[in-house]
Structure 1
Amino acid sequence: MGSMPQKITTFLMFEGRAEEALDFYMSLFEDAEVVDITRYGADGPGEKGTVERATFALAGQRFMCIDSYVKHEFGFTPAVSLFVECDTEDELDRRYGALAEGGTELMPLGSYGFSAKFGWVNDRFGVSWQLNLRE
C-alpha cells in the first residue's frame, strides 16, 4: 500500500466570519468549490452554526478554514498573502474591486515596472491578496 503524497494547505483562522469569507471567495472564482464543511453544534465548543472546519478550493488550490472559538491577539498579516495570476484585465479589475470593498488597498491597481498591471489589497476579513495580470 503506497503512502499518500504530502500536501501543504493554506489554513485561514477566522473568529465567527469563516462562512461569510468562504462564500465571498467562492464568488470570485468560477471554478471554486466547497469540498467539505462541518459546523459546531449546540454542544459547542464553538458558537452553534459557526465553522468547525471547512475545506474549499479556488482555482485548483485547496484551502482550509475555521472559526476559532478562542479569542486571540493576532490576525492576518500582509507578510503572508495569496498571489493570484489573472488571465485578463477584466478578471483582475473585478476581483480587485470586490476584495478592496470594505478592505484596505496596499498597492492600488497600476503598473509598477515588474508587471503591466498589479494590485495588493487586504480584504474585509484581513486576508491579504496580490493580483497580477499574467504576461
Structure 2
Amino acid sequence: MKKVITIPNAPAPIGPYSQAILKNDTLYVSGQIPLDPKSGELRIDNIQQATKQVLENIKALVETAGFEMTDVVKCSIFLKSLDDFSEVNDVYATYFTTEAPARETVEVSKLPMDVPVEISCIAIR
C-alpha cells in the first residue's frame, strides 16, 4: 500500500505532487527547494544557506516518516551552477557523515521559483 507523507515542517507542494511517498519500506522524497516552511520565504542569500534549508526540509520528511538520514540510499542534486558544487558538498557532508548515499549532481538551466539548488532522495529501511 502507498502512503502519502505530508507534514508542516517541509514546504507544501507547489504543484500536483506529494512531499513524499512511503511504499512498503521505501520512502521517495520529492525534490525539495530552499523554502522555509515556517515563514514561506526562500532561503537563498548564499548557496550554503540554500543547501542547508533543502536538507533540513528533507530531514523533516525523512524523520516524520520514521526513517533516519542514515537510511537515505540515493540523492539527486540539481544545481543552477556547477560552480557551487564544492560549497554544496561541504554542507551535504554534514548531513551524511558515514556511508554517504549514492548520488548524482547535475547542472540545470532553471529550477522552481528560480532557486539555486533542489535535492530529492530515496530512503530504505
Compute the TM-score of the two structures, normalised by the length of structure 2: 0.32
Which has the larger Rg? 1
Name whichever structure is richer in strand by fraction.
Answer: 1
